[in-house]
Amino acid sequence: MIELTAPAKLTWFLEITGRREDGYHELRSEMVTLELADLLRVDPEGDYFRVEGAGEDVPRDDTNLVARALKLVNRSAGVTLVKRIPSGGGLGGGSADAGAILRWAGGVSATRALELGGDVPFCQLGGRALVEGVGERLTPLDFVAREVTLMMPEFAVNTRRCYEVYDELVTEGHQFDGRNHLERAATLAEPRLATTLAWLRATYGSQITVAGSGSTMFLEGHLSNDEHEWDVTGPEGTVRFRQTTTTPA
């Protein structure tokens, strides 16, 4: 049995630089991996897929990213996924799991990894990188140790809808600046995110940022010296706070 770590991905900043004819958006972003991670127990002689932990939303059939990653590298294995990265929060949980499988199998090119999703090339690499194109152009950056507080609401943001709203804003002539070009679209696509973000900023500081298309938000630094993880009741339900750190490749 082999144990693999699949670190969560955090989008430190995100710029949308254009839209291709096929509808995909070109981006320029800095991504980092976190101490928060899924665990995969891989049995090279097995042929099964099991999920433990908070993985209710993980598909159990061949559409899940672990199965697709194994197929991409023409491998079979029994995999038990211990799910710790919340689903639907923009932290790349499924992509992280696929990246771990690709590393275990010896790795593939970023272009091939992209077949599994835009975050998978970076999740295969890990650490800290400038990510461009639709996720396939990676420039590794020197590791910077950062403390991070994640703020994870109970709801998710539909990524496709977020990009649709972004395109609507572009058509209306909206100008984008700041750390995350998708933040405005994400809060319009999911009004509960707008309410929660405003409350968090008023309570904990104006530097709180939406991670990619959300729904996770984050603040550089730790808020507590006593607690690692805790829940706070916000205006739209429970928000889980999780203190973590960045990790090298």
Question: Is 172 found in the same domain as 243?
Answer: yes
Residues 41 and 97 in one domain: yes
18 and 136 part of one domain: yes
Please give the positions annotated as active site: 9, 119
Count of structural domains, the chain: 2
Residues 232 and 182 both lie in one domain = yes
Query: 3-state class of 89 per DSSP?
Result: coil
Task: Give the pLDDT confidence score for residue 154 in this predicted structure.
Answer: 93
Is there a single domain that holds both residue 111 and residue 159? Answer: no
Residue 88's pLDDT is: 80
Low-confidence ranges of the chain (pLDDT < 50): none
Residues 27 and 120 in one domain: yes
Residue 52 sits in a domain of what CATH number? 3.30.230.10
Residue 103 dihedral angles phi and psi, to the nearest 5°: -60, -45
Tokens of 92: 């790349």
Considering the domain architecture, whether residues 187 and 240 belong to the same structural domain is answered as yes
Decide which of 140, 155, 175 is a domain's last residue. Answer: 140
Query: According to the model, what pLDDT value does residue 55 have?
Result: 61
pLDDT at residue 87 in the model: 82
Residue whose structure tokens are 């209306």: 172
For residue 196, the surrounding DSSP H or E stretch is helix 191-204
Q: Choose one of 105, 140, 175: the last residue of a domain.
A: 140
The domain boundary residue, chosen from 120, 140, 160: 140
Residues 15 and 61 in one domain: yes
Asked if 91 and 165 sit in the same domain, the reply is no
CATH number for position 169:
3.30.70.890
- Nearest Cα to Cα of residue 34 among 211, 227, 240: 211
Question: How far, in Å, are 50, 57, 80 from residue 47 at the CA level?
Answer: 10, 21, 10
Return the pLDDT at 194. 98
Residue 129 and residue 6 share a domain: yes
Give the pLDDT confidence of 137-173 residue by residue, as tens digits. Answer: 999 999 999 999 999 999 999 999 999 999 999 999 9
The dihedrals phi and psi of 138, each to the nearest 5 degrees, come to -120, 130
One domain, residues 112 and 178: no
Phi-psi region of 120 (alpha: psi -120 to 50; beta: other; left: phi over 0): alpha
Give the Cα separation of 66 and 94 in Å (integer): 8
Range of the domain at 6: 2-140
Distance CA 41, CA 78 (A): 8
Place of tokens 């693999």: 4
AA identity, residue 230: W
Q: Give the phi and the psi of residue 53 in degrees, each rounded to 5.
A: 85, -155
Angstrom distance (rounded) from CA 18 to CA 26: 5
Residues 152, 128 within the same domain:
no
